[in-house]
């Protein structure tokens, strides 16, 4: 990883840590409004989702060694796009920037979308780890 990528990764990790600290220790900040209707909590959540997706791509060794690795890298890049629009999708589903739902199918869609965006990088890393483990087992025989 080159120096600019390292600095970017460090800044993304800092955003993740800051977001988690705000959620854990400064929950009262989350309801403060920015402008008329955008709560700080929405912005912090959105930054956390995007930073998590981006840092996972930076941590993944992206050298295209084979088709599987190219596919996994492309999946992480698509996930960044999904994370980037997460706030807009959440707004469209809830009808407000506080992401307050009155129940129903839209809330379920939002839960699945959010879980999907968070789970994709984890699935990619577990898949790649399993592939490496299988290769190591079969190459040692």
Per residue in 105-133, pLDDT tens? 999 999 999 999 999 999 999 999 999 89
Question: Cβ distance 35 to 98 under 8 Å?
Answer: no
Question: Total structural domains in the chain?
Answer: 1
Distance of alpha carbon 47 from alpha carbon 30, whole angstroms: 13
Q: With 90 as the cut, is the pLDDT of residue 12 above it?
A: yes
- Token pair of 23, please? 């959620």
Helices (H), 60-104: 67-84, 86-94
Q: With 90 as the cut, is the pLDDT of residue 63 above it?
A: no
Per-residue confidence (pLDDT) for residue 141, from 0 to 100? 64
Among 1-10, 26-35, 61-70, 88-97, the minimum mean pLDDT is found in: 61-70
Helix or strand or coil: residue 39? strand
Give per-residue pLDDT as tens, 66-98.
Answer: 888 899 999 999 999 999 999 999 999 999 999
Distance of alpha carbon 28 from alpha carbon 41, whole angstroms: 9
Q: Which domain holds residue 104?
A: 3-139
Distances (CA, A) of 61 to 1, 30, 31, 97: 9, 35, 38, 36
Angular region, 104: left φ>0, alpha ψ -120 to 50, beta rest: left
* pTM (two decimals): 0.87
């Amino acid at each position: 990883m080159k120096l600019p990528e390292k600095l970017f990764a460090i800044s993304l990790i800092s955003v993740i840590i800051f977001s988690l600290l705000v959620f854990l220790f400064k929950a009262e900040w989350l309801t403060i409004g920015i402008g008329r209707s955008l709560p700080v909590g929405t912005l912090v959540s959105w930054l956390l989702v995007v930073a998590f997706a981006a840092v996972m791509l930076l941590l993944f060794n992206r050298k295209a060694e084979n088709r599987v690795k190219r596919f996994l890298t492309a999946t992480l890049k698509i996930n960044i796009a999904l994370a980037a629009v997460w706030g807009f999708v959440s707004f469209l589903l809830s009808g407000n920037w506080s992401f307050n739902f009155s129940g129903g199918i839209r809330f379920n869609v939002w839960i699945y979308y959010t879980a999907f965006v968070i789970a994709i990088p984890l699935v990619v890393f577990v898949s790649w780890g399993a592939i490496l483990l299988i290769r190591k087992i079969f190459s040692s025989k």
